[in-house]
Structure 1
Amino acid sequence: MLKYNQDIRRKLLAWYDKTKRDLPWRKTKDPYSIWVSEIMLQQTQVKTVIPYYERWIKILPTIDKLANAPEQKILKLWEGLGYYSRAKNLKKSALIIHKKMNGNLPKTVKDLQNLPGIGRYTAGAISSIAFGLKAPIIDGNVKRVFSRLFCINDNGTTSSFENCLWEIAEDLLPVRRPGDFNQALMELGATVCTPKSPTCQQCPVRTICHAFLKDSVNKFPSTKKKISSKKIEVSAGIITKNKMVYIQQRVKNGLMGGLWEFPGGKREKGESLEECLKREIKEELRATIEISEKVMTIKHTYTNFRVILHVFDCQLQDKIIRPNGCEQWKWVSLSNLKKYPFPAANVKIVKYLTEK
């Protein structure tokens, strides 16, 4: 087993040195930059993250800058990346590091996991890549690589399977270059040992991969039945007055809290889209509207549900509005609309208004 592990390390590191992708966070050993990249990469594709990471590091290059940045600025930088709790946890962690740790990111997995938004995987990645400590990682890519390399599946016992994977990761991890080895595992899963149509002929460890040798790569890991995501239909209104548009801020402790949006909500059973919007505006603004026309339909997919957003131009029928259920509300000029952070679907409404 010792020689087998040594072969994996040697082959994988040699392959990584030769073929690794040129990614911006691989050009630095700055712990803060590596931390930011790892948080952004959670459940998000590399190609999506790159421009967000580069913009973030340019505007907020240090922990102190992040700790002192207003939340609205942070949410605007994160706009469109999704899972906004990640951005909020970065801010919370930066404040803790700034106030209690002399501005220095912790090095060990144990200490890193005490910070908001950092779990075992992220802690291992930061500890090994930024500080060169022997800290294993398991993410979706590594899980798939190990499942095929050792021909192991969860067989319905997920916790036992996870424990087995962490033990393998611990055993395989070299004392020298642990960060590079962890990145090599992730790189292999992301570029070669992919979920569908893996390119096994390009794999540096194919000659010692049990699934490849048994011609059963596609059997590992076992796939779970996908649960069909729920479809939600939403009506939203563009309400303008004196060349200003109405927007409201979502309550800070709720879903996508702190982001701004156009008023509206979910369609209830038996309602038309127009009836839905009139009811929602009545509830949210305590006002009545006249609907002019439908201007666009936006489809957006979240982790567990799909939203179809129907957007209408509207006119207020009341001189006074009394918004409730939101953090705050504003009338904003079109030229200033892009200064506010919106959820991804609402960003498309902003684009429609500012570019038409």
Structure 2
Amino acid sequence: MADSSDVPHDGSWRSASWRTQLRRRLLTWFTTSARDLPWRKTRDPYAIWVSEVMLQQTQVATVIPYFERFLRDYPTPAALAAADEAEVLRRWEGLGYYRRAKQLHAAAKRITAEHGGRFPETFEAVLALPGIGRYTAGAVLSISRDQRLPVVEANTLRLYSRLIALRQPPTATAPNRLLWEVAAAILPRQQAGRFNQAAMELGALLCTPRNPDCERCPLRSLCPTRREGLQEEIPGKVRTLQYEDRSHVAVVAQHEDRFFLRRCPPGGHWAGLWDFPRYDLTPAAALPGDALAAEVERRFAAEFGFAVRLGEKLKTLRHGVTRFRITLDAFTAEANRREADSAECGWYQPHEILDLPLNTTGRKLSRLLP
């Protein structure tokens, strides 16, 4: 096991005086500089949990209206647990990373079944819920119940890396363990939740990945990274994700006044959401038009048991999913018959599609229907 004591860094954080100054300055700054956010107006652990899940990999400005609508529709874990998953996914539509919504729903069911509908208040019980890791459990319990639990997420990982002048990539095993040690050591005995929020806020507003605003930072005189001019080198670089270009084709099949959609299967992208049938034709998408149409028609018939004839291109959309950059060419298509609906696919009039939980590109294509 990697030893965090061997990680090169500045050890000022081990000084009680240094930690006391940091706490006092950070909490004072937060009093005057904290953003007015709806989840900061409650101590309800359920509401704070919802906000933390929504904020994962999503901008604050995007989350605010979703959070307010979600809490209005599902004010308690029991209300969320009682909702149909498709309904929950429809409410989540546009936030992306839909697995978060599915896990939120599953965890609400667990809370209702095992905790009487009350959000649990021990770290172990919260950690046992679907989709909740060390960071989320610590954030929810420290903010809602002032439990002295550390938080290391994207913003505090960067902030703490700079406060100890961490000379190695912070996601590596030993450096990451050290950052959790630092996060635990600097927590005050009281106001732990407020301190965690302040640290996350400072990372989000001032201690940014590029061009951090060190002159306005309340911790500038305590920061060895600023003192040594290493703001652009710390945190250490992590492996850059290499994106793959993919070419997909979507089939917007129509029979009379209805359009054919399917539910995305478990285990793949957008599992549980609805979409127009789509096929990864990389590198076949480079085929001439007739060959491309024949291949799409063959795959469609093999999957659904009835034929379509591809028509005009409806739209080209570009989007990203995990490590893929996808070019999606959507084509109209005429179906030779209308199969009976099932739980996994069916025919819908345009106004009926409004109520289905669609992935982002599916929703964009649905808006083009006559």
Q: Give the alignment's TM-score, normalised by structure 1.
A: 0.94
Deviations 1:113-132 (A, max 9, x none): 01000000000000100111
Report 1:58-207 matches (<5 A).
58-154=72-168, 158-207=172-221
Deviations 1:131-167 (A, max 9, x none): 1110101011111111111101325981110110010
Q: Which amino acid aligns with 1:319?
A: R
Alignment partner of 1:7 is 2:21: yes
In the TM superposition, residue 87 of structure 1 has moved relative to its aligned partner by 0.9
Q: Structure 2 vs 1, CA of residues 19 and 148 (structure 1 numbering), >3 Å: closer, same or farther?
A: same
Matches of 1:305 and 1:34, distance apart in 2:
32
In the TM superposition, residue 270 of structure 1 has moved relative to its aligned partner by 3.7
In the TM superposition, residue 322 of structure 1 has moved relative to its aligned partner by 8.1
Out of 244, 254, 272, which is 2:258 matched to?
A: 244
Alignment partner of 1:33 is 2:53: no
Task: Identify the range of structure 1 (247-256 vs 190-199) with the bigger mean alpha-carbon deviation.
Answer: 247-256
- Secondary structure of the corresponding residue to residue 113 of structure 2: helix
Q: Which runs of 5+ in 1 are unaligned?
A: none
Q: Which amino acid aligns with 1:281?
A: F
Out of 344, 347, 353, which is 2:363 matched to?
A: 347
Q: Which runs of 5+ in 2 are unaligned?
A: 1-14
What is the match of residue 281 of structure 1?
300
Alignment partner of 1:331 is 2:347: yes
What is the match of residue 311 of structure 2?
292
What is the match of residue 329 of structure 2?
310
Tell whether the 8 Å contact from 1:235 to 1:274 is kept in structure 2 after alignment. Answer: no
Tell whether the 8 Å contact from 2:169 to 2:235 is kept in structure 1 after alignment. Answer: no
Deviations 1:193-242 (A, max 9, x none): 00011111111100111111112211101112413211111101111122
Out of 318, 331, 337, which is 1:319 matched to?
A: 337
Matches of 2:264 and 2:233, distance apart in 1:
45
In the TM superposition, residue 169 of structure 1 has moved relative to its aligned partner by 0.5
Tell whether the 8 Å contact from 1:12 to 1:184 is kept in structure 2 after alignment. Answer: yes
What is the match of residue 5 of structure 2?
none
In the TM superposition, residue 27 of structure 1 has moved relative to its aligned partner by 1.1
What is the match of residue 7 of structure 2?
none
Q: Give the alignment's TM-score, normalised by structure 2.
A: 0.90
- Secondary structure of the corresponding residue to residue 314 of structure 2: strand
Matches of 1:40 and 1:202, distance apart in 2:
29
Out of 44, 57, 63, which is 1:49 matched to?
A: 63
Matches of 2:295 and 2:27, distance apart in 1:
58
| RMSD over equivalenced CA pairs, Å | 1.8
Matches of 1:156 and 1:122, distance apart in 2:
19
Task: Identify the range of structure 1 (175-184 vs 254-263) with the bigger mean alpha-carbon deviation.
Answer: 254-263
Would you say how many aligned residue pairs link Structure 1 and Structure 2? 351
Alignment partner of 1:234 is 2:248: yes
- Secondary structure of the corresponding residue to residue 262 of structure 2: strand
Tell whether the 8 Å contact from 1:259 to 1:342 is kept in structure 2 after alignment. Answer: yes
